[in-house]
Amino acid sequence: MKDDKNSQAYWKATLGLLTKILIVWFVVSFGAGILFADMLNNIKLGGYPLGFWFAQQGSIYIFIALIFIYAKKMNDIDRRFDVHED
């Protein structure tokens, strides 16, 4: 029974992390690239409107950072629940 509760807590932590990552992904891709593009275009970054920059390059940087953040946080969760691989 204890193992079942431990696995449920593990999956709850995993899904919580995934939800947070997907929210950031959505806000950056859909929000900054589409919804808030007109408002962000009033700000210039390197001579380009910020909304355009997010749609073309900025979102890629954020997505790469999300990959590393996800890997680090999942390793932390795996260690907390003693299911790590090393």
Whether residue 41 contacts residue 52, with contact meaning beta carbons closer than 8 Å, is answered with: yes
Give the confidence band of 84 by pLDDT, cuts at 50, 70, 90: confident
Give the confidence band of 1 by pLDDT, cuts at 50, 70, 90: very low
pLDDT at 60 over 70: yes
Which pLDDT score, from 0 to 100, does residue 47 have?
87
Going by the DSSP 8-state scheme, the letter that residue 7 receives in this structure is H
Whether residue 61 contacts residue 45, with contact meaning beta carbons closer than 8 Å, is answered with: no
Q: How much is the CA Rg of the chain, to the nearest whole Å?
A: 18
Whether residue 67 contacts residue 24, with contact meaning beta carbons closer than 8 Å, is answered with: no
